[in-house]
């Protein structure tokens, strides 16, 4: 075969020094510094898949997130994702018969999941596929690798002793190439959601506002006026020093609100890892009043793009701040500082589309082999259909141009 792959030894860590495509790429999630951050998790074992051409040349790399017992982060733990609507899916967009079957399958899921570990996902934090091709590779050569990727992942899963595996957060363009190969191997496809990307083509803030239709321009001006009248100012901090105490406090409160585990130690550990790995790419916009930080949004910058990482707001004292800070103030700063794309992540599609984001679908392929695998296979198929219906329900296409 033209391509082969090897799961790197646990001590092997791909770096930009050996693989230049990992050095400050256009997408922050493909940066070797971000891969170092991902390695710091205690929820997954991080491995790497190295793809070689027939002549032995290293032509691509991809992270592998392995979960041994179901304790993985929801969005990268294939059995845990399956049937969990917090990951993706919307049964309300299924037919009546499909919804009834979904309910039947739900009762059998807990037992069926247990037989699917260990499980491995080809993906990286940031809800990104993580596939990085060597510099200098042609588009045709990249497509060849993508077409082989499902087979290579199958081999890697067997090598790691996994009962299930998944290839996650693949773009439309990639899906058109690797999808048929995955289907031939019996992998189950599912729509996982959509990345929300705001593309800015205006030269400055005034031109941006002028390009909006009247109702959107009025809403933006009203939200910014209310923000200012409430006494808020926006403070911009860049670099590792931006990840300081008030930001940590708000993140701790946010996680507590949604019942997420770990508390302050978990947040402090994650922020320390961010500072030590991608800290020089950090950008924090804070909503402050009387010297107190009552809301923040954290981005990571790569080239002319911002990638949303997390946010936190004081629910009682920062009402109405979210949209002013996360959209208007972020856009204003971006236009003044050479940023042209803002990646806002998955979920909250109605609000993001309303504010001009393109919605770019993300796809996954799942393969379950343990006892009860048919339960998970059927569930994830229905789950993907429901998510597809949700996205389709947002309009005749997945994007909304600025000004609509």
Neighbours of 392 (CB within 10 A): 14
Three-state secondary structure call for residue 364: strand
Compute CA 276 distance to the chain's CA centroid, rounded to the nearest angstrom: 21
Q: Which residues pair with 289 in a beta bridge?
A: 292
Mean pLDDT, residues 64-74 taken together: 93
287-292: Cβ within 8 A, 24+ apart: 287/227, 287/232, 287/233, 287/234, 287/313, 287/318, 287/321, 287/324, 287/325, 288/232, 288/233, 288/234, 288/235, 289/230, 289/231, 289/232, 289/233, 289/317, 290/231, 292/246
Tens-digit pLDDT profile for residues 312-329: 999 889 888 999 999 999
What per-residue confidence (pLDDT) applies to 255?
A: 82
Average pLDDT over residues 119-135: 98
Asked whether the predicted pLDDT for residue 300 surpasses 60, the reply is yes
In tens, the pLDDT along 338-368 reads 999 999 999 889 989 989 999 999 999 999 9
pLDDT band for position 401 (cuts 50, 70, 90): very low
Q: 136-171 pLDDT, tens per residue?
A: 999 999 999 999 999 999 999 999 999 999 999 999
Single out the residue of 342, 391, 347 nearest to residue 198, CA to CA. Answer: 342
Contact 77, 119 (CB under 8 A): yes
pLDDT in tens, 238-267: 999 998 888 999 998 888 887 777 788 888
Nearest to 358 by CA among 325, 396, 399: 399
Name the average pLDDT for the chain: 93
Per-residue pLDDT at 325 = 96
Hey, what are 308's tokens? 């949303």
Which has the higher per-residue pLDDT, 276 or 42? 276
Output the CA–CA distances (angstroms, integers) from residue 25 to 34, 87, 151, 304, 340, in the order listed: 11, 27, 26, 11, 15
The percent of residues in the chain predicted with pLDDT above 70, rounded, is 97
pLDDT at 395: 65
**Res 400 pLDDT > 70:** no
Which residue from 315, 364, 332, 326 is spatially nearest to 348, judged by alpha carbons? 326
Tens digits of residue pLDDT in 34-59: 999 999 988 899 999 999 999 999 99
Q: pLDDT tens digits for 189-226?
A: 999 999 999 999 999 999 999 999 999 999 999 999 99
Polymer length of the chain: 404
pLDDT at 398 over 50: no
Q: Is the pLDDT at 333 greater than 60, yes or no? A: yes
Question: What average pLDDT does this structure show over 174-179?
Answer: 97
pLDDT band at residue 281 using 50, 70 and 90 as cut-offs:
very high
């Amino acid at each position: 075969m033209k391509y082969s792959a090897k799961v790197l030894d646990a001590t092997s860590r791909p770096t930009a020094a050996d693989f230049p495509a990992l050095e400050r790429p256009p997408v922050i999630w493909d940066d070797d510094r971000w891969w170092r951050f991902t390695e710091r998790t205690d929820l997954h074992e991080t491995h790497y898949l190295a793809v070689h051409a027939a002549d032995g040349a290293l032509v691509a790399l991809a992270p592998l997130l392995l979960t041994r017992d179901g304790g993985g982060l929801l969005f990268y733990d294939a059995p845990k994702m399956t049937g969990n609507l917090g990951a993706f899916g919307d049964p309300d967009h299924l037919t009546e018969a499909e919804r009834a079957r979904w309910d039947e399958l739900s009762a059998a899921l807990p037992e069926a999941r247990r037989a699917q570990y260990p499980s491995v996902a080809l993906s990286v934090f940031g809800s990104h596929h993580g596939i990085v091709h060597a510099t200098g590779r042609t588009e045709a050569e990249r497509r060849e690798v993508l077409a082989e990727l499902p087979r290579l992942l199958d081999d890697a899963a067997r090598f790691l002793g996994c009962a299930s595996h998944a290839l996650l957060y693949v773009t439309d363009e990639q899906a058109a190439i690797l999808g048929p190969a995955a289907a031939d191997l019996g992998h189950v496809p599912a729509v996982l959601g959509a990345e929300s990307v705001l593309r800015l083509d205006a030269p400055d803030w005034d031109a941006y506002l002028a390009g909006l239709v009247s109702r959107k321009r009025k809403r933006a001006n009203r939200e910014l006026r209310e923000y200012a009248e409430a006494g808020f100012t926006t403070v911009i901090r860049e670099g590792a020093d931006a990840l300081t105490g008030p930001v940590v406090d708000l993140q701790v409160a946010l996680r507590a609100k949604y019942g997420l585990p770990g508390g302050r130690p978990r947040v402090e550990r994650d922020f320390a890892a961010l500072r030590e790995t991608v800290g020089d790419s950090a950008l924090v916009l804070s909503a402050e009043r009387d010297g107190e930080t009552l809301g923040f949004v954290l981005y990571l910058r790569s080239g002319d793009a911002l990638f949303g990482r997390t946010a936190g707001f004081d629910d009682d004292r920062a009402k109405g701040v979210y949209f002013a800070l996360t959209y208007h103030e972020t856009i204003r700063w971006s236009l003044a500082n050479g940023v042209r794309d803002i990646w806002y992540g998955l979920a909250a599609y109605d609000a993001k589309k309303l504010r001009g984001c393109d919605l770019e679908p993300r796809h996954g392929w799942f393969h379950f082999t343990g006892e009860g695998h048919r339960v998970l296979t059927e569930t994830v198929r229905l789950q993907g259909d429901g998510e597809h219906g949700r996205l389709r329900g947002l309009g005749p296409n997945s994007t909304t141009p600025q000004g609509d």
